Amino acid sequence: MKKIFFTLLLLPCLALSQNSTEYGVFETANLTPNPTQITQFEKGLAAHNKKYHGEGPYGVRVYWVSNGPNTGSYHWSMGPFPWSSLDSRPAQKEGHDADWNTNVAQYMTADSGAQSYWRAHTELSRFPNDFTIKNMAVDYWDIKRGKYADAIKLVEKINKVYAEKSPDDIWGIYANEFSSTKEGRDLAVISFFDRSAWLGEEHGMDQKYNEVYGAGSWEQFLKDWMEVTEGGETELWIFRPDLSGISGDVKAAERQ
């Protein structure tokens, strides 16, 4: 449980400028290629993203999912953008939709492409240093009905521990803008790592938490967390710069 929850607390909080009255949203989709047409799919996806999604609010990053029920699919993420920008998103402009349908969609399976929209919890996120995305561990949590506020209060406690005990660590929290009880993905957190050995390391959250809140507080936290959640799942993503419209470089100053 310690490992699962802690990989939860490192998500890219790619928010809009604080001067904006709107908040940043990411549009995401899982794309599953026909197993016999992966080469054509990747070629079309790369060309499409570099032509239509290479900058600004419509910039796209692509990740390959390496475990779980979505293994072999490609996670497509666009943003951050304010909701208002959807009215001007690439569609018929310069043949965007026709290009997608001809060079990408025709190589995907029929059940591919379900979309979600995620809002960053900027007040719970930290980007103290610039970094480059390579590998990501993504935790999805199913929050019990009526318990979302309680779950966020617990995340605030974890945030305080990281701020005091691991100030150089990077994390962010996403909330599903249109979550459903069927899907069970209400809260998502991503942790970034370069080496796979990181997945097997002990990061000492129990000790750090007890140092901040007192002896035995970590055990109580785990009980409280289980009271507000139905469960969760973890996916590992590998960043594919060759298929993306933008690089994996993240500037801390732009994420505040």
CATH number at residue 137: 3.30.70.100
Higher pLDDT, 164 or 125: 164
Percent of the chain with pLDDT over 70: 89
- Which residue range(s) make up the domain with 7? 2-255
pLDDT value of position 251:
76
Q: Poorest-confidence range of 27-36, 86-95, 116-125, 171-180?
A: 86-95
* Helix, strand, coil abundance in the chain, percent, nearest 5: 40, 25, 35
pTM of the model: 0.86
Higher pLDDT, 80 or 234: 234
Is the distance from CB of 248 to CB of 61 less than 8 angstroms? yes
pLDDT value of position 130:
82
Alpha-carbon gap, residue 109 to 62, rounded angstroms? 18
**Tens digit of pLDDT for each residue in 16-60?**
333 446 888 899 999 999 999 999 999 999 999 999 999 988 999
pLDDT value of position 180:
87
**Tens digit of pLDDT for each residue in 187-212?**
998 888 889 998 999 889 999 999 99
pLDDT value of position 6:
39
Tokens of 159: 């945030």
pLDDT value of position 14:
36
Alpha-carbon gap, residue 20 to 59, rounded angstroms? 19
Alpha-carbon gap, residue 254 to 15, rounded angstroms? 8
Tokens of 256: 């505040």
pLDDT value of position 166:
87
Where does 33-147 have alpha helices with state H? Answer: 38-52, 96-103
Alpha-carbon gap, residue 93 to 80, rounded angstroms? 20
Is the distance from CB of 111 to CB of 165 less than 8 angstroms? no
Determine the 3-state secondary structure of 98 from DSSP: helix
pLDDT value of position 254:
61
Alpha-carbon gap, residue 17 to 219, rounded angstroms? 38
Tokens 């942790």, located at residue: 191
Helix orientation angle between 148-165 and 205-213, rounded to the nearest 10 degrees: 100
Largest CA distance in the chain: 61
Long-range contacts of 199-208 (CB under 8 A, 24+ apart): 199/137, 199/236, 203/2, 203/3, 203/6, 205/2, 205/5, 205/6, 205/158, 205/161, 206/2, 208/161, 208/165, 208/166
Tokens 């970034």, located at residue: 192
**Tens digit of pLDDT for each residue in 59-114?**
999 999 999 999 999 999 998 889 998 888 877 667 999 999 999 999 999 888 88
| Domains of the chain: total | 1
Whether the predicted pLDDT of 8 surpasses 50: no
pLDDT value of position 203:
85
